[in-house]
A and B are shown apart, each in its own frame.
Chain A
């Protein structure tokens, strides 16, 4: 479904500030896999998603989605394969547009856009049904501007918009990190539900190690621009957080240093 082949990404290449952000990265994702990605700050997690989405281009290596090579495609040209939700709750929706207008934008993904009026009644009905399924009380607020919603509501809407066109791969970048714990939990449940019901292939970055192990089918741990642990199957089901951290220090010969992850682990 998704393949990264020997991908390298540098920032500020050939300057004193040169940073080798992604190093010879290989990743093969099967259809239906739900992958969680953890790693310390600056490990390269977001950069990997940006390489998949086309916001960055690799300096070498190739990217395939649905067996089509998309390495050099700009973001908007591969968007029909992808859905994406960001950490910033203002990034995944258009705040000055209404809920139904946001939906209408997502609805046209992968199709040409012209001078037709964007919304009609049959669309409105579909949006309403879709919204009532998630039970946030948004189904009667179709004409409210999205800027008026809470962060959690915006993130739920962003999720629905990202999944409306059956994307080949769903990309989630700490999409619950800016929400209060209770809302975060709700959005996480919604995420899980959407991925399962629609049999989506998904990559989710999180800094919450228990979330990384409890959700999904496979967990990647990144460090220094590389995938250092790749855990799936039976072994993953029984794995605890301390064991995960031990395996990290065994391979990397250092402690896993990510304040937020350790903090959120300590809380549990």
Chain B
């Protein structure tokens, strides 16, 4: 059994890895109003592409860039299904996701791949460890992940304040407005869904390096977990502008990850099994989404 402080550090690390995915989910679900289920496929895609590049001798930064681009392409496919083929957003995402399952297996060649340092594979984390050998590894990882998430948050904040960024956010509010202002809503959707899945895939690539292996099933339930992070964040802090909203997402991801870690670590006392985690996440999202409705109904009864 690990100490409480170790436990905290680990769950914050994992929360930060999650935050990258949650920022992606935030773009589609909150800015674009496009419920995108590609995530369950683009998350392992990022990990698979990263492993592919690593096994061909490329360094981790090239692998991460490749994962980012692959995620963007997956997003473009979903976006094109929706805007060009007029398939509803939900179904577009599901279709891409199902295609990606096979594609990911093709890329990986087998359902599990190890990224162990012993095999000579470098990850950003092993590079860090070698560069700063005096510093404890967990703190190195923590600081690196904080820096990375803050950088991505900052870049996303900037992006959402550009001319294209405003157009993307407006698309979620009113497509009629966007068209009347001379913006092609198909284009803003394509860009938004692509950027979203690029972040999701990057998150997958980061998680693969963190845990040292890639598993074909690592994406199952990720979209709901990302959504859980977003809405937990919204419950925690009230945000008015984009800077606040993306901060919410990051905090939400960390808190959500802590909650699941607590459930995994101590939940066995009340009979909680690791495979109950998806149920836990599902119920959490259901509860938070139903809460306002239940509150209204209760008021009506009084």
List the interface of chain A (C-beta within 8 A of B).
53, 55, 74-77, 79-80, 82-84, 86, 90-98, 101-102, 104-106, 108-110, 113-119, 143, 145, 161-162
B184 touches A (CB below 8 Å): yes
Q: Is the CB of A116 within 8 A of B173?
A: no
Q: Is the CB of A76 within 8 A of B169?
A: no
B151-192 Cβ-contact flags toward A at 8 Å (1 or 0):
000000011011111110110111011111111110000000
- Can you give 10 contacting A-B residue pairs, CB < 8 Å? A76-B182, A76-B184, A93-B173, A96-B169, A96-B173, A98-B241, A105-B177, A113-B183, A115-B163, A116-B163
Closest-by-CB residue of A relative to B170 is: A94
Q: Is the CB of B162 within 8 A of A118?
A: yes
Q: Is the CB of A145 within 8 A of B177?
A: no
What is the minimal beta-carbon distance from A90 to any residue of chain B, in angstroms?
6
B177 contact set on A, CB distance < 8 A: 91-94, 105
Interface centre among A80, A82, A96, A108 (most CB of B within 10 A): A96
Q: Is the CB of A115 within 8 A of B162?
A: yes
Closest-by-CB residue of B relative to A98 is: B241
What is the minimal beta-carbon distance from B179 to any residue of chain A, in angstroms?
4
- Which of A90, A91, A110, A145 interacts with B240 by CB under 8 Å? A145
Q: How many residues of B contact A (CB 8 A)?
A: 26
Q: Is the CB of A108 within 8 A of B184?
A: no
Q: Is the CB of B176 within 8 A of A86?
A: yes
- Which of B159, B170, B185 interacts with A105 by CB under 8 Å? B170
Q: Is the CB of B179 within 8 A of A79?
A: yes
B178 contact set on A, CB distance < 8 A: 76, 94
Tell me whether A94 and B183 are in contact in the complex, defined as CB-CB below 8 angstroms, given that A101-B166, A114-B163, A118-B163 are known contacts. no
Q: Is the CB of A74 within 8 A of B184?
A: yes
Q: Is the CB of B180 within 8 A of A53?
A: yes
Q: Could you tell me the distance between the alpha carbons of A75 and B174 in the complex, rounded to whole angstroms?
A: 14
Q: Is the CB of B158 within 8 A of A117?
A: yes
Q: Could you tell me the distance between the alpha carbons of A90 and B172 in the complex, rounded to whole angstroms?
A: 12
B172 contact set on A, CB distance < 8 A: 96
B169 contact set on A, CB distance < 8 A: 94, 96-97, 101
Tell me whether A91 and B166 are in contact in the complex, defined as CB-CB below 8 angstroms, given that A79-B182, A113-B183 are known contacts. no
Interface centre among A53, A55, A115 (most CB of B within 10 A): A115
Q: Could you tell me the distance between the alpha carbons of A145 and B238 in the complex, rounded to whole angstroms?
A: 14
Shortest beta-carbon contacts, A-B, top 5 = A79-B182, A94-B170, A113-B163, A94-B173, A75-B179
- Which of B163, B173, B176, B179 interacts with A108 by CB under 8 Å? B163
Q: Is the CB of B166 within 8 A of A118?
A: yes
Q: Could you tell me the distance between the alpha carbons of A113 and B182 in the complex, rounded to whole angstroms?
A: 10
Q: Is the CB of A90 within 8 A of B182?
A: no
B162 contact set on A, CB distance < 8 A: 114-118
Q: Is the CB of B185 within 8 A of A76?
A: yes
Q: Is the CB of A97 within 8 A of B180?
A: no
Q: Could you tell me the distance between the alpha carbons of A216 and B236 in the complex, rounded to whole angstroms?
A: 52
A117 contact set on B, CB distance < 8 A: 158, 161-162
A115 contact set on B, CB distance < 8 A: 159, 162-164
20 further A-B contacts with Cβ under 8 Å, apart from A90-B173, A117-B161, are: A74-B184, A75-B180, A76-B178, A76-B182, A77-B182, A90-B174, A91-B177, A92-B180, A94-B170, A95-B174, A96-B169, A96-B172, A97-B169, A102-B170, A105-B166, A114-B162, A114-B163, A115-B164, A117-B158, A117-B162
Q: Could you tell me the distance between the alpha carbons of A25 and B222 in the complex, rounded to whole angstroms?
A: 54
Q: Could you tell me the distance between the alpha carbons of A115 and B180 in the complex, rounded to whole angstroms?
A: 21
| B residues 103-134 in Cβ contact with A at 8 Å | none
Q: Could you tell me the distance between the alpha carbons of A95 and B170 in the complex, rounded to whole angstroms?
A: 8
Q: Could you tell me the distance between the alpha carbons of A53 and B169 in the complex, rounded to whole angstroms?
A: 22
What is the minimal beta-carbon distance from A41 to any residue of chain B, in angstroms?
21
Tell me whether A106 and B165 are in contact in the complex, defined as CB-CB below 8 angstroms, given that A96-B172, A97-B170 are known contacts. no
Q: Could you tell me the distance between the alpha carbons of A213 and B2 in the complex, rounded to whole angstroms?
A: 80
Closest-by-CB residue of A relative to B184 is: A76
What is the minimal beta-carbon distance from B76 to any residue of chain A, in angstroms?
18
Closest-by-CB residue of B relative to A53 is: B180
Q: Could you tell me the distance between the alpha carbons of A53 and B158 in the complex, rounded to whole angstroms?
A: 32
What is the minimal beta-carbon distance from A262 to any residue of chain B, in angstroms?
30
Q: Is the CB of A55 within 8 A of B179?
A: yes
What is the minimal beta-carbon distance from B26 to any residue of chain A, in angstroms?
12
Q: Is the CB of B180 within 8 A of A94?
A: no
What is the minimal beta-carbon distance from A148 to any residue of chain B, in angstroms?
9
A91 contact set on B, CB distance < 8 A: 174, 176-177
B167 contact set on A, CB distance < 8 A: 105, 113
Interface centre among B159, B169, B170, B181 (most CB of A within 10 A): B181
Tell me whether A95 and B166 are in contact in the complex, defined as CB-CB below 8 angstroms, given that A55-B179, A76-B185, A110-B182 are known contacts. no
- Which of B166, B179, B182 interacts with A97 by CB under 8 Å? B166
Q: Is the CB of B180 within 8 A of A162?
A: yes
Q: Could you tell me the distance between the alpha carbons of A145 and B240 in the complex, rounded to whole angstroms?
A: 8
